[in-house]
Structure 1
C-alpha cells in the first residue's frame, strides 16, 4: 500500500510529475520531507506550488520548517530545510524566500532531481480549486499536501497566516483527479499519518 501511494496509484516506475503544496509551515515541511524520503526519484519532476492570497503577504511570514530525518539527507540539506524554534538554530526570516530554500533543500537531498517552483494568486476560499486546476494543467501524477492535526488550531492559525486548512486538504484528497496524499507528521521521529481517498489514517514510520 505504501509503494502504491508513492507511485501515484500503482503506476509502473517511470518519470513522474509530483507536486507538493508549498507553504512556510510545519505541515508543508512534513509533506516535503515525506516526498523526499519516501516518494521521489531522481528522474522525476518535483513541482513546489504556492497559492498566494494577495491580501495575506502584508503580514509577517512565520516559518517552522523542521529538520529532515531522512538518512539520505546531507548535513547541508538538513541545515537548509531545518528550523529550530526557541533558540539554537536559524529560521526563515522576512528577507528569505521560503520557496527558494525549499527548492535548494530538495536539490541538496536529490542533486539530479528537476525541481520547479510555481506561484499563483487566489482568494483563500478558492485555494483547493486552484490547486486542482494546476494539477490538470501540468499533468501531475501525484499531489502531496500537509494537513494540520487539530481543526481548532487550523481555524485559529488560518486567520493569522492563511495556510492550508484541514478542510482544504480533505477537499484535495476527495476531488483531485490524480492521486492525492495528505500528510501529518507525528513528532520528529514518529513517522507520518497518511490520508488518501481509499486509505485513511495509514501509519508510515519515518
Structure 2
C-alpha cells in the first residue's frame, strides 16, 4: 500500500522439532511477515511421538560466530543465533533442552520485537494431521499458511497423489486443500529456498 501501512494479516507456521519446520520459520521471518502481522506457531501433537524437549543442536545449525542477528533480513542467522547462544533455558555450551515452541517464539521476538506471536498446541483427536492444520487455519482466519517440506525420491515421483501425511505428503495435502494461500518451504544447502504452492512449483528464491 503506497503511502500507508500494509494491512495486518494472520500468518501460520506449522511448528515441530525438525529442520523442515525451522526452514519454514526462517522463510516466514525473512520473506513473509511484517511487524504488524500476527504470527501463529501451530504444533499438532502426535500421540505416537512423545519427544517434546530436544537439544537445540538437533534442529538448528550453530553459527560459526555464535552471534544473534536482530535484523529480519537476517532471520536465518537470528534463529540459529538463538540456538548458538544457548537459549533461555539451555545449559552450558548451548546443549541444553527447552520447549521448541518457546525457542521458535524467542527467535521471532529477536527478529521482530513488535511482532505479535502466538503458540498453539493441539491434539489430533483421531484426525489426520493435515485436516487438523486446515481446521486450525480456518478457525484463526489465517491468510497465509507456511509449512516445511521434506524432499525424497518417492515424494518427487508421486507428488500430491500420495496421502500418507508424512513429510512432503502433508505439505502437498495442505497446498491442495487450504482455503488460504499455502506455501511449502525447503531450505537448500547451497542457500535460498525452494517453494511450492498451488500456483508455483519448485520456485527458487534466493535467501
TM-score range, shorter chain: 0.7 to 0.9
Structure 2 residue 34 is matched with structure 1 residue 33: no
Instruction: Determine if the alignment matches structure 1 residue 196 to structure 2 residue 197.
Output: yes
**CA 1:27 to 1:77, structure 2 compared with 1: closer, same or farther past 3 Å?**
closer
Which of residues 28, 32, 35 is equivalent to 1:42? 35
Determine the C-alpha separation between the residues in 2 that align with 1:201 and 1:74.
20
The SS at the match of 1:47 is strand
Pairwise CA RMSD: 3.1
Q: Aligned partners of 2:81, 2:122: CA distance in 1, in Å?
A: 28
Corresponding residue number in structure 2 for 1:90: 94
Deviations 1:34-86 (A, max 9, x none): 01001110000000000001231168746312468964459775421559xxx
Match of 2:46 in 1: 53
Correspondent of 2:106 among 99, 104, 107: 104
Q: Is 1:172 matched up with 2:167?
A: no
Look up the match of 1:6: none
Q: Specify whether residues 76 and 171 from structure 1 end up closer, same or farther in structure 2 by C-alpha distance, changes over 3 A only.
A: closer
Rounded to whole Å, the distance in 2 between the matches of 1:124 and 1:90 is: 37
Gap regions ≥5 residues in structure 1? 1-11, 84-88, 154-162
The normalised TM-score by structure 2 is: 0.75
**Normalising to structure 1: TM-score of the pair?**
0.76
Deviation at 1:110, TM superposition (A): 0.3
Give 1:197 deviation, angstroms: 0.7
Specify whether residues 74 and 64 from structure 1 end up closer, same or farther in structure 2 by C-alpha distance, changes over 3 A only. Answer: closer
Relative to structure 1, is the Cα distance of residues 67 and 132 closer, same or farther in structure 2, using a 3 angstrom cutoff? farther
> Which structure has the greater CA radius of gyration?
2
Judged with a 3 Å threshold, the aligned counterparts in structure 2 of structure 1 residues 67 and 137 are, in CA distance, closer, same or farther, namely farther
Note if 1:140 corresponds to 2:142: yes
Distance in 1 of aligned mates of 2:105 and 2:166? 19
Partner of 1:80: 82
Aligned partner of 1:160 in structure 2 is none
- Number of residues of Structure 1 aligned to a counterpart in Structure 2: 179
